[in-house]
Chains A and B, each alone.
Chain A
Amino acid sequence: MRSYVMRRVLAAVPVVVGITIVTFALAKAMPGDPFSSILSPGVNAASLLHMRYERGLLDPLPVQYYNWLVQLLHGNLGTSFQMAAPVTKVISQRIGTTLSLDLMALFIALLATVPLGVISAVRQYSVLDRVLTLISFVGIATPVFFVGLLALKYLALTWTIFPPGGVVTPGVTLPFPQNELDALYHLILPALILAFAQAAGFVRYLRASMLEVVRQDFIRTARSKGLGERVVVYKHALRNAVIPLVTLLGLSLPFLFSGGILIETVFTIPGIAYTLYQGVIARDYPIILGITLILAILTILGNLLADVAYALVDPRIRFD
């Protein structure tokens, strides 16, 4: 097990290095540098050039990449133009909101997936199965922000069941347990919408996986032993069918984060994804790059966790 985890970690290293190279290349492609906005009468072209030279902006690209990487490893992602604060600080203040929203969405999605996927497979081609199939197509194919906008209009503005965005009720300061509940109340609708998009794909996958498993010999064996259908489906079949879902969970993270950017924007939730959008509006390049880098690294970490979890639940994997 330990060597398996080590191998997975080592395999992730080149991808992380690749991500830093891509991010650096994008940073270099962005127009302007910290000195291009200096328009002071005392600064002429020659002294600008000198400042660029001193800051290493005229070094060969590999040298610049190396210096940038060293800064990155020290937790320095640059300074946000717009917020006049270190990017790392902005991210660390806001990442919690994004993570709670995304984890909540994943949790709700899984909670819905297991019963729906099983029913869909057990009653293959029934009316229920077809309705679920159609709904999951809608879930996969619908622009998540459009669902968000509809929910915002009808559930928050027309019928005021949910708050219209944000994470706190404005103008009130709540003591400890209530403030957490208030945040939960604000996050539940966006999380449900994100979960819908995620669950749609998961249900299709679990259904296919269940249909595959029930064709195998051990299911026939279980039935011929005289086990009840319920035990066969939920104990023998489901346990095996749900394993590949762990990998899918890891692979779905980029989609979750992409959807999160739109949902946080629609609901004005001050997480890092909304900050990314604000950065785009203000052309705040250090913020845009820093958050993209963090999202990519979170994706890799998520995949790594999924791989390890897969090996934990399926011992066959460890000995390949």
Chain B
Amino acid sequence: MAVARNAPRPPLRGEEEGPGAEGSPQRSFLGRYARNRVAVAAAAVLLLIMLAALLAPLITHYDPNATDIRVLNQGPGPGHLLGTDELGRDELARLLYGGRVSLAVGLVSAAISMIVGILAGATAGYFGGWADSVLMRFVDVVISIPALALLIVVASIVPNGGLTTVMLVIGLVSWPSVARIVRAEFLGLRERDFVEAERAAGAGGSRIMWRHLLPNAMAPIIVSAALGVANAILTEAALSFLGLGVQQPTPSWGNMLQAASNWRALALYWWQWVPAGLAVLLTTVCIYILGDALRDSLDPRLRM
């Protein structure tokens, strides 16, 4: 290994990361191990958050929508562990039940954008030609409009019909980046020999697309699905904070954060909005760490 004589510390060793390179096995092994440990911890925290949301009725006996005028804006204490909001509703109950809503919005919106994105990207990548041109120009247009601005416009046009609307709006605005990834994968894969062999054996377009190309493109798709869930949770939080997402009285982490748009609550009643923000933060950070680790283990070529 080439080491510069006057280097005060071990120099950059890119070789360490190359495929099959054995540069410094212990160091890279330890590094990967530590990374995985973080990823394992992230997965555990994520599981805990999901369990807490699912088992909300077992954790708190409060109804998230029950108001109590005797305890308005009460701080955390023995009766209400995380205090109460301006209507005297229990904040812990709202946080747990709100978690159900935020996680559901994240998962369903991401699923919608994955399905549309995979269909569009696969069509564009496999067939090429005018289908590719039309779809990808549309994707270019949508991607160059700042996502939140587009979401605001769409959400302010669509009559808000509750959770389903929010999920559809987020899902249908965020598929273009998925389509780009899937298209790039399909473009590369469709020229490979095994596809040619399959075609020679008489397989039709849809069989090649879904049975052969899709499984080979799974690694980046899974990673972008994970990041898609995190982004959808962030988007729900932002939209609901602006008053365009999940509407009261249904609790969600996003509309709990809306409490902070009141100066009094912002300055004095931290328990009304800080826990919801931390819940979003913890969830999305864990998903990002998980997505990163997934990328490393699913496809080492994609390593960052």
* Residues of A that sit less than 8 Å from B by CB: 14-15, 18-19, 21-22, 26, 29-31, 121-125, 130, 134, 137-138, 140-143, 145-146, 149-150, 152-153, 157-158, 204, 207-208, 210-212, 214-216, 219-220, 223-224, 226-229, 232-233, 237, 253-255, 257-259, 261-262, 265, 276-277, 280-281, 283, 285, 288-289, 291-292, 295-296, 299-300, 303
The reply to whether A214 and B143 contact each other, CB–CB distance below 8 Å, is no
The reply to whether B27 and A125 contact each other, CB–CB distance below 8 Å, is yes
Docked CA distance A22–B285 (Å): 33
**Inside 8 A of A134's CB, which chain B residues have their CB?**
38
**Inside 8 A of B141's CB, which chain A residues have their CB?**
15, 18-19, 21-22
**A254 touching B6 in the complex, CB below 8 Å, given contacts A15-B137, A31-B157:** no
Among B138, B150, B267, B281, contact of A143 (Cβ-Cβ < 8 Å): B281
Among A31, A214, A253, A258, contact of B14 (Cβ-Cβ < 8 Å): A214
The reply to whether B144 and A15 contact each other, CB–CB distance below 8 Å, is yes
From B43-51, B74-82, B235-243, the one touching the partner chain is: B235-243
Docked CA distance A26–B288 (Å): 33
**A254 touching B137 in the complex, CB below 8 Å, given contacts A214-B14, A229-B4:** no
**Inside 8 A of A259's CB, which chain B residues have their CB?**
148
* A-B pairs with beta carbons under 8 Å apart, 19 shown: A19-B145, A26-B153, A26-B157, A125-B31, A142-B285, A146-B257, A149-B260, A211-B12, A219-B14, A226-B4, A226-B5, A255-B146, A262-B242, A281-B243, A289-B153, A291-B149, A292-B145, A292-B152, A296-B144
Docked CA distance A14–B136 (Å): 11
The reply to whether A138 and B281 contact each other, CB–CB distance below 8 Å, is yes
The reply to whether B6 and A229 contact each other, CB–CB distance below 8 Å, is yes
Tell me, yes or no, whether B15 is within 8 Å of chain A by CB: yes
The reply to whether B4 and A232 contact each other, CB–CB distance below 8 Å, is yes
The reply to whether B242 and A277 contact each other, CB–CB distance below 8 Å, is yes
Docked CA distance A14–B141 (Å): 9
**Inside 8 A of B148's CB, which chain A residues have their CB?**
257-259, 261-262
Tell me, yes or no, whether B304 is within 8 Å of chain A by CB: yes
User: What's the least CB distance linking B124 to chain A, in Å?
Assistant: 16
**A276 touching B277 in the complex, CB below 8 Å, given contacts A141-B285, A141-B288:** no
**Inside 8 A of B7's CB, which chain A residues have their CB?**
229
Among A124, A152, A277, contact of B266 (Cβ-Cβ < 8 Å): A152
Tell me, yes or no, whether B120 is within 8 Å of chain A by CB: no
Docked CA distance A237–B285 (Å): 31
The reply to whether B137 and A18 contact each other, CB–CB distance below 8 Å, is yes
Among A21, A210, A288, A296, contact of B152 (Cβ-Cβ < 8 Å): A288
Docked CA distance A283–B159 (Å): 12
Docked CA distance A227–B292 (Å): 35
Q: Which of B236-292 contact A (CB under 8 A)?
A: 237-238, 241-244, 257, 260, 266-267, 270, 273-274, 277, 280-281, 284-285, 287-289, 292
Among B9, B142, B238, B266, contact of A153 (Cβ-Cβ < 8 Å): B266
The reply to whether B280 and A143 contact each other, CB–CB distance below 8 Å, is yes
User: What's the least CB distance linking A268 to chain B, in Å?
Assistant: 10
**Inside 8 A of B215's CB, which chain A residues have their CB?**
none
The reply to whether A26 and B154 contact each other, CB–CB distance below 8 Å, is yes
The reply to whether A299 and B145 contact each other, CB–CB distance below 8 Å, is yes
Q: Name which of B9, B145, B244, B277 has the most chain A CB atoms within 10 A of its CB.
A: B145
Q: How many Cβ-Cβ contacts under 8 Å join chain A to chain B? A: 184
With both beta carbons as reference points, the residue of chain A lying nearest to B144 in the complex is identified as A299
The reply to whether B140 and A15 contact each other, CB–CB distance below 8 Å, is yes
Docked CA distance A289–B150 (Å): 9
Tell me, yes or no, whether B197 is within 8 Å of chain A by CB: no
Docked CA distance A30–B157 (Å): 5
User: What's the least CB distance linking A214 to chain B, in Å?
Assistant: 4
**Inside 8 A of A208's CB, which chain B residues have their CB?**
304
Docked CA distance A140–B30 (Å): 25
**A143 touching B144 in the complex, CB below 8 Å, given contacts A125-B27, A280-B244, A295-B149:** no
The reply to whether B242 and A146 contact each other, CB–CB distance below 8 Å, is no
Tell me, yes or no, whether B160 is within 8 Å of chain A by CB: no
The reply to whether B257 and A145 contact each other, CB–CB distance below 8 Å, is yes
With both beta carbons as reference points, the residue of chain A lying nearest to B6 in the complex is identified as A228
Among B5, B28, B146, contact of A299 (Cβ-Cβ < 8 Å): B146
Among A130, A215, A229, contact of B11 (Cβ-Cβ < 8 Å): A229
The reply to whether B281 and A254 contact each other, CB–CB distance below 8 Å, is no
Docked CA distance A79–B100 (Å): 42
The reply to whether B234 and A141 contact each other, CB–CB distance below 8 Å, is yes
**Inside 8 A of B287's CB, which chain A residues have their CB?**
141
With both beta carbons as reference points, the residue of chain B lying nearest to A294 in the complex is identified as B149
The reply to whether A122 and B140 contact each other, CB–CB distance below 8 Å, is no
Docked CA distance A214–B266 (Å): 48
With both beta carbons as reference points, the residue of chain B lying nearest to A22 in the complex is identified as B141
The reply to whether A276 and B152 contact each other, CB–CB distance below 8 Å, is yes
Q: A137-B285, A232-B11, A296-B144 are in contact. List 18 more A-B contacts (CB 8 A).
A: A14-B137, A125-B28, A137-B288, A141-B281, A143-B257, A143-B281, A143-B284, A145-B257, A146-B237, A149-B260, A152-B266, A219-B14, A229-B7, A255-B147, A261-B148, A280-B243, A291-B149, A295-B145
